[in-house]
Structure 1
């Protein structure tokens, strides 16, 4: 008998009886072998070779014990062992060692040795154990799990049987062997009915097996869900389309606030509305059976403040006429009130983060609205708003600026002379009251109930004993005793009833917010210094630092960001708010030590002079926060924001809110969505009130993350897939019948949302109709709507997509390619240099709008490269090494051309040739290219390069050209080499000759 738990062994140990525990075979270093016998408890005295009998064996039998001695081990636990030597070594078969009483002749007898338990007076062993070095256990044999079945007759199975007919014939053939007396084959027979039922089920299971095998490979999979999961295995994100976004401008005749979630926009044409064409619909009209229309809802659920003056914003031309904003403009000036008005009567309420739309409203020549160029419209997000006054005209103005990504893509004509009377026309204006909207209609809008989802009830739990353990410690806790079939539990995967569900990217993206926060934090110390300087100037009793003694006092207006409601303090005294700010930044002890209250002028000078020293700890923490923001970590208002407020003042904390419009990135990126990053616009609430949010996958989700994956099938229906308790939390089962979860989502997706300009003309309110809104329009067409990716396209792109993305930097070209991906980098170059011990990747970058790359951009590139660099490579990032040129040409001018005109044209051609966008890293300067640029100018008959060298490097000098006439002289070879990290520079600016000199000698002409 074999038992899973041998409880008798413990009782034998404590009862004083003897018993055998195990037999081990031991081979010594000299090659001799012996048997080590372990007893249950101490070994009895007087055991000798005649008391051990070895039975069994196939090839080697009759093994006899020659000697028997107690173990001499020092360990007391090994005292119950005996060492036996035998006359021969057995084979691989099983043997049995028994402890017996000696027979009358002094040999091993057959009776058990007195005092041994009858169950443990013998033990089976092998001279050559098959599981040497392992903890072998006996086979389990218990009810339901243990003993092997008796051998039966082999059953022949025809694995070619895959359909109903073959399964039916196979069953009939088998029954002819097992039940030969049953010969009935008529359809009404009960046996035939059972056979056909089993054949049908076999056919269904066979089809399922074939379907599973088909879906197991990318090339043969037919279901969209299967293709999506296969593509994910090779890191290819199959997308389910994306919704369209648009900018909507509202015109109102009074200031008002639209509550969040109370309104939506639509494309319903005016002709479809009863009784005219109102721009606003109330709930009572919006719920009627109207023709189909596209619905757009605000992307950000927040209150929208509308101002009457923002309906049309006029641009200030400083009194000039026929003015235009050129392409690439990133700043403008708005009219902010009537001339000579009080500053408190300014009409514009623009703030950083607001969006305005520039548009051309009239034809520049005809003055007709129909002739306005509709392509001259662009939305920009303001990054700077500064009030000012044009003193010449006493005109309040507002200076605004926006990011380089939002630079005007076209020249915007502001004023012109045109029309039948050649009058002054206002051609271009700006529009405020702009809202970013997205295609899709929420199913729970305006008090509509969310979609209920039935939650499956948890099956009843039946506790029982755990299964026996073949090795290790048994589990004493009760387990679920339900049947183990089916082996895989059915996971909760509901399908939403309406389709297509909207797919959109998060707005604003976390990396966009983090980047904007890092840019804001970079100016924090400078703003603190400016605030302290403004406080010092507000004293109005001393001269500015660095001015001559006795000079006139310098004063400055209080910054607009720190308004004061109390009367201005007396000259030479500090405002209480300013003193509180200084105490926050420097601490009360520092202010007391520097005698701020008694000597404010000297104290403020000292604080400015020792700013970095006194705030070393805060600046170190500030550097760490900037680094974290650059890494993509969003600084939270209630965490890092609280820390900023305690260290630098509450205004800095307020400005650092992650939901601030100023951190939403340029307007050009708001409508440009990546469909592969889009997620379904679904929010699920379980029966416990917890919200579940969508993710691309659950690979990085933990057991407590309430998330799901939305998968669209071939019919466009969205299925929700939850975690398994390891990768993502498992959806909780219902504890009572009838429990439901709630799903809130939007419907509307794909290219149908890409409506044209002026198509969105309707606003619908849920609660109260706002009659102050006069017009609703989208000056720009909706963009970003994409249909779901076809399955055939995924099959073609998924296997090779990973080869098209750079995920590591090994070669110099890899480093340059990764560095060029950083925003604000125009181009980059890299080179691997051997330092004597290892390689160093040297990366040079060019920044937009400046010759010298700023420090923060170098830090950003260095941070990005660290994730891609090869292990063992050092990294050095610096700005491009500009090589100013010393260039001289002799040019022959045709007689009919003016020499001065030709010279100006040649210099303009070379300015284009050496423009920042034209020159690249390592591009050599070739004489042939210079001559070609010169002779392309009208009037040039002949061109010759007479001097080509690096500026400030004499002949034969370090880094300079070779001696004249040498084999490597640029005039001889026609090429001036430029290093891999260098860029040729020829500004030809007399005010900055160090940036390159162009010497022209013109002959001929007139």
Structure 2
């Protein structure tokens, strides 16, 4: 017979049995071989009918056996359920004669009980020798120990100054009952407080050393940033916002250049458009936000308001997706390639009132083509402009409208020049603490101004307007100018690649928003010497605070970058500030940094290249292929862009994608980008009209439904490039469903359903047209390019 063991907690067992909401151990039996234990529970176990709790079955990692003096540890090999409420635990060896404890735990690294198990009934003490013959009773006789004199009470939870002081004063009163001195100046009190202060410091250092050693317990941002850096995850310190600035100027400003770095200030009562440095400093002290222009702009009063040229047409509209327009070139414009231009609605299309203009119909483009021309009809001077597809107009912009009772045609939109990009942050001198280099300890100064700007560089040669606002082209770096007698120091994410003579430094952001500087050690980066005297200038302003609303920035400080510019009438930001991001939280880093080690940061296989290309904005799908091209491997990446279009025809997009892909390219591999291949479709439908519908209306509805562009309601058409990608099949059922959803369609029959460039291959019978793995379904229904797919509609049953 196996021995029965039970503790004296019968009331607890009875309460758990009656409650029936949590489970616990009832008793334990040792099998005769002493290598298996039968643990009986109060309620059915997980995995049984009526299980409490209703969770996955208990496994080996949730059973632990501790104890023993000669034979230890005891390893659990397997668990099973031979009968209801019983868990059989198989162990690797019998134990010795000392007591052991079986414990239920939530996992191998915790002592907490599994969810749904009573914490007082999740352990049980037993002996492997319970089946050995003995004349002694099973129950141990109760025994009372003689009272012992109390020892000193030591509070091991004392971890700070107050608790250390209390413990030591209590011990003094115990050792000296007659001691009553409580004056702060008393020798014992002074000694206790000095010891408590020292103990508090050591206690904090002890806790901090253990806590900061792991990313899961580290409390300081700098510690977490260093941990994540070890696994290639850069803790984001946020970055500043950007916004486009428009300068409305008079003729006195013509030909003058507003230099990069000109401060632009948020609206402050009582200030004009162009303010002095004193007014600027006063406004900053009162909490105004400051931006600074990022590129030079040549001012011209003719660029304040530029009319669109309608070519003698009425009710004109610049359609969504447009990349070209024609402007009135009188007075003479001086626009050039690379200039920013604002396109916006200025008047309501129904009332002709400025207050009714839609403020959301404003868009900035960067010009890629500027050609002077004239209207051959009347000789009017015009300027043809174009911009990149990345800056394509995202909405329909009405250019003119008939307003009023007389139906007079008036312009309701215009273009505006004198536009430049600005980003958040104000330059100011910053003090360092300490400001002198120590002789023995490492120099770790702090910049005593919080909120240092983290900014990204702007490529003024190739960056489109949309990419400039996204502000995600490169890692953000602290905007700090640090100088000493040896020159200017350069900020880097780390010093691993710095040589011993390099003036390189690392800025580390703490929890309060202050930057701490970490210098080299004369192995990786130059170490400062006591003769170094540092001076620092820094920009202040970062994060989402810079994502200001439109028309918030209203003052410029043209005198800050040289001589003041005359003729500044008005300053505004026609678009809201965007791109500003706050520093990444520690909770976010703890969650995502460990998982980042599973992210492939090198493109090795074809699937790696496809995944790498998908990370680039504007790529819908990508397919890669590795080929041996004679002397090396070449990776051919075929890219399906969002919205369609050729990557080779858009050089800025192509260069940006190449730069992105080169970051993952292995040495010895060439890289080639290709446009996708298309599978043009020939589709012919027989349409039976419903009653009381005209053939023309239904045909127009079907053509709108199956368009390769945008439908009249703004949705993507059935054959829009974003609806299909590499290898996506075209199902006949989808064609039937789309056609039947058009008003006026009574029935549909597919007469022709095949590829345009190949013979039919039973597509109607199979109900699907499947392109090759590298091909994309295409049907543009353009009579000029039938090789891009055709759609024929045979209308029957017309009125």
Q: Structure 1 pair 360/901, CA: closer, same or farther in 2 (3 Å)? A: closer
* Deviation of 1:679 (Å): 1.8
- Look up the match of 1:902: 698
Question: Which of residues 309, 315, 326 in structure 2 aligns to 1:322?
Answer: 315
1:709 counterpart (496, 506, 513):
506
C-alpha offsets along residues 4-51 of structure 1, whole Å, 9 cap, x if unaligned? Answer: xxxxxxxxxxxxxxxxxxxxxxxxxxxxxxxxxxxxxxxxxxxxxxxx
- Aligned counterpart in structure 1 of residue 211 of structure 2, from 210, 214, 219: 214
Equivalence for 1:507? 458
Match of 1:761 among 531, 538, 554: 554
Q: 2:392 & 2:485 partners in 1: Cα distance?
A: 49
Do residues 816 (structure 1) and 796 (structure 2) align?
no
Give the secondary-structure state (helix, strand or coil) at the position aligned to 1:711: strand
Structure 1 residues 338-417: aligned runs within 5 Å: 347-417=332-402
- Aligned partners of 1:310, 1:874: CA distance in 2, in Å? 46
Deviations 1:906-962 (CA, angstroms, capped at 9, x unpaired):
3443333233222221112222122222222223222223443334434xxxxx62x
SS of corresponding position for 1:351? coil
Q: Is the 8 A contact 2:643 2:722 kept in 1?
A: no
Q: Check 1:356–1:196 CA distance in 2 against 1; reply closer, same or farther (3 A cut).
A: closer
Paired position in structure 2 for 1:561: none
Contact in 1 for aligned 2:316/2:401 (Cα 8 Å): yes
Whole-Å separation in 2 of the counterparts to 1:435 and 1:381: 10
Q: CA 1:816–1:899 in structure 2 vs 1: closer, same or farther (change >3 Å)?
A: same
> Which residue, out of 719, 722, 739, partners 1:917?
722
Native 8 Å contact 2:369 2:386 kept in 1? yes
* 1:371, distance to aligned residue in structure 2 (A): 0.8
CA distance in 1, matches of 2:535, 2:670: 54
**Does the alignment pair 1:744 with 2:537?**
yes
* Contact kept in structure 2, 1:453 and 1:743, CA below 8 Å: no
Match of 1:698 in 2: 495
Deviation per CA, 1:328-373, whole angstroms, max 9, x where unpaired? 11122222225xxxxxxxx212111111212222112211111111
Over 3 Å counting, the alpha-carbon distance change for 1:711 and 1:421 in structure 2 is farther
What residue is the counterpart of 2:638 in the other structure?
844
Alignment correspondent of 2:442: 491
Aligned CA-pair RMSD: 4.1
For the residues of structure 2 that align with 1:503 and 1:232, how far apart are their CA atoms? Answer: 18
Q: Structure 1 residue 859: deviation in Å?
A: 9.7
* Cα shift readout 1:648-668 (whole Å, capped 9, x = no counterpart): xxxxxxxxxxxxx4x151112
State the alpha-carbon separation in 2 of the partners of residues 308 and 873 from structure 1: 52
Counting strand residues as a fraction of each chain, which structure ranks higher? 2
Q: Which moved more, 1:849-858 or 1:215-224?
A: 849-858
* Separation in structure 2 between the aligned mates of residue 369 and residue 978 of structure 1, nearest angstrom: 52
Q: Distance in 2 between matches of 1:817 and 1:873?
A: 17
Partner Cα distance (1:824, 1:214) in 2? 43
Distance 1:194 1:896 in 2: 103
3-state SS of paired residue (1:785): coil
Structure that is richer in helix per residue: 1
Report 1:392-791 matches (<5 A).
Answer: 392-419=377-404, 422-444=407-429, 451=431, 455-457=435-437, 459=439, 490-508=441-459, 661=460, 663-674=461-472, 677-688=475-486, 690-730=487-527, 732-735=528-531, 740-764=533-557, 765-766=559-560, 770-791=565-586
Q: Which structure is richer in relative contact order (CA contacts within 8 A, separation 6 or more)?
A: 1
1:237 aligns with 2:188: no
Equivalent pair of 1:452/1:740 in contact (CA under 8 Å): no
Tell me if the contact between 2:688 and 2:748 (Cα under 8 Å) persists in the aligned partners: yes
Structure 2: stretches of 5+ with no match in the other structure: 1-153, 172-178, 708-716
| 8 Å Cα contact 2:780-2:790 kept in structure 1 | yes
Rate the CA distance shift 1:351–1:899 in 2: closer, same or farther, 3 A.
closer
Question: Could you say what secondary structure the match of 2:723 adopts?
Answer: coil
1:257 counterpart = 2:55: no
Query: Cα 1:769–1:260, aligned 2, differ >3 Å: closer, same or farther?
Result: closer
Counterpart Cα distance in 2 of 1:431 and 1:827? 36
TM-score, length-scaled by structure 2: 0.68
Unaligned 5+ segments in structure 1 are: 1-157, 174-183, 339-346, 445-449, 460-488, 509-660, 955-959, 962-968
Which of 300, 306, 313 is the aligned partner of 2:299? 306
Q: What is the aligned length? A: 616
Distance 1:672 1:442 in 2: 23
Per the normalisation by structure 1, the TM-score is 0.55
- Give 1:398 shift: 1.7
Q: Aligned-pair distance for 1:982?
A: 1.8
CA distance in 2, matches of 1:237, 1:397: 50
1:758 & 1:860 partners in 2: Cα distance? 31
Give the whole-Å Cα distance in 1 for the aligned partners of 2:351 and 2:752: 54
Query: Does the CA-based 8 Å contact 2:316-2:399 persist in structure 1?
Result: yes
Of 739, 756, 771 in structure 2, the residue corresponding to residue 934 of structure 1 is 739
Deviates more, 1:215-224 or 1:840-849: 840-849
For 1:498, what is the secondary structure of its paired residue? coil
Q: C-alpha separation between the residues in 2 aligned to 1:283 and 1:808?
A: 50
Instruction: Name the CA distance, whole Å, in 2 between partners of 1:872 and 1:453.
Output: 48
Distance 1:310 1:869, change over 3 A: closer
Which structure has the larger Rg over C-alpha atoms? 1
Alpha-carbon contact 2:610-2:637 (below 8 Å) kept: yes
Residues 546 and 577 of structure 2 are in contact (CA less than 8 Å); yes or no, is this contact kept in structure 1?
A: yes
Deviation at 1:215, TM superposition (A): 0.9
1:839–1:259 Cα change, 3 Å:
closer
Query: By how many angstroms is 1:799 displaced?
Result: 1.9
Residue 922 of structure 1 contacts residue 979 of structure 1 at CA under 8 Å; is this kept in 2?
Answer: yes
1:979 Cα deviation from its structure 2 partner: 2.0
SS at match of 1:891: strand
